[in-house]
A and B are shown apart, each in its own frame.
Chain A
């Protein structure tokens, strides 16, 4: 049968069932998220959105301010470099992460942003990654309007 198998153990009244649950998704990035992704794809620019009342700059951008609940519309470009706030090294494979492990995930506060952006960290051994280190975005040659148009963040040259 398609998608799964059932197998009886040799000489035993026990079966092993193996398969998958396949969940069709249609994720919409929304108005603000789409703008963020289009800028990544077309211009290699990382956009934040600023709250005029609180002066907080959200990256990735969101339509509502978490502090004052105001509607946000003021897009600003932030730096391609930033500071690593925290990170983790992941040794598992999952269906959603196609890169082979170990994968280093970091939360990066880009220059000009007030929030952290979750992304992969590359070109560095997991053991050498430290909170507070400077990182810079590496863009893919072929971009399709995805957060993975940024390939990963790598350690930035000092200065």
Chain B
């Protein structure tokens, strides 16, 4: 099938998309946007988080066909760099495989709750696994981003 979708503000089109493909595959393998990651492809890790019509979703759980005519924003397309900068300064990036999904999740959290408490941050990021950092510096990064 053919899919037409707005990605990061640009109209994009993909042909010969197989019905079983996910939005994650569409982005990574057909549209050249590998920023969203593929740590589990089972909806368990959050590494593939993108915005779909402004709502954060696990791209691995969305069928490519479902995004026809809709709008997707990936980590590559985020204009503001406040969260990204805070992750760098706080040392919240090690291997970085969790980072794109976390950036979207934190971006979304701060848009909804500009000054979240630690318990709110933990609740909001509970779906994003990180194996390297033990999350301490991710919390630091969120606090830092929220303070700016």
Partners in one complex: no
